[in-house]
Amino acid sequence: MKLIIGLGNPDKKYQNTRHNLGQSIIKQFVETELKAFFLTKTNLLAQIFETGQGIDKNIFAFSTEYMNNSGITIQKISNFYKIDPKDIYIIHDDLDLPTGEYRIQFDRGPAGHNGIKSIIENLNTQQFNRIRVGIGKPQNNIPIEDYVLQNFSKEELDLISSVTPKIFEEIYTIIRN
């Protein structure tokens, strides 16, 4: 069983921001690729979509909590479904990658990402998978906290749109294995 979860913030005002990129990608995958919808699981603090059965089951999710509390949601989901951390894939924004690039990595520290810090603290391990999607670094001395909560420019959206199908292929590979 695999958990693929996109990080973000719940309020509408954050929906198109850089920090919600993970949540946006997982929503788009489930809604456009799988032609499905998420169900609210208030006990898990998440929106969830399930496919398959038994060991072939896959859970797609995003938290209904704020980014900095992502670990609480992921802990609840992993405990409920009995998912080993090595079978968890976190999709999130990453300042250390240029916009439109992505990396899949395992057992990596938070590098200043508060959502990842929360996950490590709540799972008591960093031995989970991450799909890091680049949002670039702020220019003109914009504070990081402001930068990640800004909307993407048209050019940035084009770069994200060009990499999204590649990330979808990676998700398909994850759920097939």
Tokens of 135: 């949002």
pTM for this model (two decimals): 0.96
Q: What is the pLDDT of residues 118-144, one digit of tens each?
A: 999 999 999 999 999 999 999 889 999
Q: What is the pLDDT of residues 4-56, one digit of tens each?
A: 999 999 999 999 999 999 999 999 999 999 999 999 999 999 999 999 988 88
Q: What is the pLDDT of residues 111-120, one digit of tens each?
A: 999 999 999 9
Q: H helices within 61-130, ranges in order?
A: 70-81, 114-123
Which residues fall within 8 angstroms of residue 142, CB to CB, at 6 or more apart?
150
pLDDT band (50, 70, 90) for residue 82: very high
Tokens 């300042």 belong to which residue? 95
Instruction: Reduce the DSSP state of residue 15 to 3 states and report it.
Output: coil
Would you please indicate which residues are annotated as catalytic (active-site) residues?
19
Question: Do 134 and 167 touch, CB atoms closer than 8 A?
Answer: no
What does the mean pLDDT of the chain come to?
Answer: 96
Residue 82 DSSP symbol: T
For the chain, the residue count is 177
Question: Do 41 and 47 touch, CB atoms closer than 8 A?
Answer: yes
Question: Do 174 and 89 touch, CB atoms closer than 8 A?
Answer: yes
Residue 99 DSSP symbol: T
Q: Which domains does the chain have, with CATH numbers?
A: 2-176 (3.40.50.1470)
